[in-house]
Structure 1
Amino acid sequence: MCKHNRVRVKSTATTFDVIDSLKELDHPGLTEVAEFLGVPKSTAHDYLSTLIELDFVVKEPEGYRLGARFLEYGGYARESMKVYRVARPVVNRLAEETGEHANLMIEEHGLGIFLYKAKGDDAVNLDTHPGMRVPLQTTALGKTILAHLPEDEVRRIVNEHGLPAVTEKTITDRGALFDELEGIRERGYATDDEERVEGMRCIAAPVVNQNDVIAAVSVSGPMSRMHDERFENDVPRRVLSAANVIEVNMTYS
């Protein structure tokens, strides 16, 4: 019985490895998938064929790709989260007011998950998208979440995921991170100064519900517009206000 369970778990893990390979490789062929996974082509073919049969994978002339059925699950997962439903109109208004990107992030399994983003009229193009996972310490959103988690939970996350560098300004030192988190708690919001994307700055505030941090909201924009009074006062004030509105609506909706 135990052996059978281990086999089933391994099979499930391999299925998701196949799915990840299609995301990483972008329309790969059968040989590319097999090489990426380190398995025989016959094994890769069996998994891909099953996923095609279940409508999760599509085979096109240029290679395999993830099917639109994943949108059904992703959309359901997001719509089932109260914080998304409550925060969405607030994030939309924040983007409209600032003209920049406004974002909503949650923490899940020690990573930051972009749950929603709205684009203002002046916003530049960024690589972020709903469902994108990033190391928490690389963003203002993630840092403000870390700042309001118990210290032992922060240490567990750092032990598991490390402090990977994304740009030259990403925090990669534990001591520097904990100093930063203390400053965030004192200030009430977090900043990101080119720590994930060169040339971009971000302000983020936590969304707290019943003393637990459940999300973070932010505004991000290019350094040419995010400086002086706007970066130090105007945007932080708007972001803090948005976070407070979400918190109140979470309580009374």
Structure 2
Amino acid sequence: MAIRTTDQSNVKTIDRTARILETLKELDGARVSEVADELDLANSTAHRYLSSLKKNEFITQEGDFYYVGLRFLELADSAQNRTEVYKLAKPKVEQLAQETGERAEFIVEEHGYAVFVHRAIGETAVRANSHQGKRIPMHATSAGKVILAHSPERKVEEIIECRGLPELTSETITTREELDEELEEIREKGVGFAEEEYIQGLSTVSVPVKGSSGAIQGSLGISGPSGRMSGDNFKREIQNLLVGAANELEINIAYP
């Protein structure tokens, strides 16, 4: 069946709206002319979209600048609490951050990215470029690799085909052969590591969180400076904390 012109127009409008919101986020606010330049639009077209988004309270205006609005906080809260797993993971993340002093996180896969659902900062944690909702490449993070290791092969193929294996640092895995070897090791050991593969100087340790059916639900992880996250004893201590927290979370998922 042929797609009707009105349907094509509606899809184009939705796509353009999404790109405008992304642009406002990336530029941390922008004038009409800046949005128009970024998206190759006429100023009048950009203004029409911005006015509509403002009318619907998705963006706000301060002088000549438009910004992503606080209404997205309400939407974010809904997203963070849309499943029981997400709700149950939050206190575990906070507990891990307190116990380790580092950054703790609960990450899931969405649209081929590893997404921070919950994050907590410990007393000695570094404030790396991450926040709740941030999307990062699956292959360059311990959490992403843990999720890939416990996902169906077809799902892994789809993610790699869509997102590729881009090099982010000199330590990033960029070949399918190397990735497959590491995923197999993660399945055997039940833990994943990423040493400066996403951000230079930052290393992470993650373990899987599974549902009652055994399907992967997400990953609990700890991130910190590579200097502090080194050494077998330290890694083993972090791993034991993560495994214990994940086991408790899985029991709570199975027996709410």
Same fold (TM over 0.5): yes
Equivalent position of 2:175 in the other structure: 173
SS of the residue corresponding to residue 236 of structure 1 reads helix
Equivalent position of 2:250 in the other structure: 247
Distance in 2 separating the partners of 1:230 and 1:101? 19
- How far the C-alpha of 1:230 sits from its partner, in A, is 3.8
Work out the number of aligned pairs and report it: 253
Distance in 2 separating the partners of 1:135 and 1:229? 26
SS of the residue corresponding to residue 194 of structure 2 reads strand
Report the residue type matching 2:88 in the other structure.
V
Q: 1:217 aligns with which of 214, 217, 220?
A: 220
Distance in 2 separating the partners of 1:91 and 1:60? 36
Residues 96-125 of structure 1 deviation map (CA, whole Å, 9 limit, x = unaligned):
111111100010111111000111111111
CA RMSD of aligned residues (A): 1.2
SS of the residue corresponding to residue 55 of structure 1 reads coil
1:138 maps to 2:140? yes
Q: Any stretches of 5+ residues in structure 2 without a counterpart?
A: none
- How far the C-alpha of 1:231 sits from its partner, in A, is 3.5
Counting aligned pairs with the same residue, the percent is 39
Residues 137-160 of structure 1 deviation map (CA, whole Å, 9 limit, x = unaligned):
111010000000111210111000
Distance in 2 separating the partners of 1:114 and 1:138? 14
With over 3 angstroms needed to count, the CA separation of the structure-2 counterparts of 1:83 and 1:139, relative to structure 1, is same
1:117 maps to 2:119? yes
Q: 2:238 aligns with which of 228, 235, 238?
A: 235
Equivalent position of 2:23 in the other structure: 21
Would you identify which runs of 4 or more consecutive aligned residues in structure 1 move more than 6 Å? none
Distance in 1 separating the partners of 2:89 and 2:232? 26
Q: Any stretches of 5+ residues in structure 1 without a counterpart?
A: none
The two structures have a TM-score, normalised by structure 1, of 0.97
- How far the C-alpha of 1:62 sits from its partner, in A, is 5.9
With over 3 angstroms needed to count, the CA separation of the structure-2 counterparts of 1:247 and 1:103, relative to structure 1, is same
Distance in 2 separating the partners of 1:47 and 1:230? 55
SS of the residue corresponding to residue 240 of structure 1 reads helix
Distance in 2 separating the partners of 1:72 and 1:10? 26
